[in-house]
Amino acid sequence: MTLFGLPDKYFLVSGHSEGETLLNAFDNALLNAGIGNTNLIRLSSILPPAAALIQPPQIPAGSLVPVAYAFEWSDEPGLEIAAAVACGVPHDPALPGVIMEHHTFSSAEHCREICVGKVEAAFRHRGWTWKDIKTASASHVVQSAGAVFAGVVLWK
């Protein structure tokens, strides 16, 4: 028996923001991503078999939200920060997918490329092939305290 049951849906989110402090910037990035008034439960990196990609639903405030995510924050003005997630969906729907995360001091594109490479490596290691790789990323040039966030939310 599990606390949540096996999720059968997923969606990707990303956000970026400034804040008065690094923690406020992170909170604001979550708000920008659409999951700021929830309680995140950080996951490792497996997508349940046959999970369907959906549009982000309205999530009630205070909900427990299972999410695999990456984030970065900095208070160095002018620094570009980025976070990305990549979700590999296997050809065989009986197999689970793989979610990878990455965060860096660079562009969203560079961060996303690294993340996709991690998914490809995970599939090669398992001897599986992927049907699709979905990504979400965010970047931000820090003004005073900035944060970026990217996540894959598993949903039932």
Residues with catalytic roles = 39, 44-45, 101
What are the φ/ψ torsions at residue 151 (nearest 5 degrees)?
-150, 160
Q: How far is CA 93 from CA 35, 89, 128, 129, in A?
A: 28, 8, 11, 11
Residue of 103, 117, 95 whose CA lies nearest to 48? 95
Q: Where are the alpha helices (DSSP H) in 8-107?
A: 22-33
| SS (HEC) of 115-126 | HHHHHHHHHHHH
* Three-state DSSP state, 64: strand
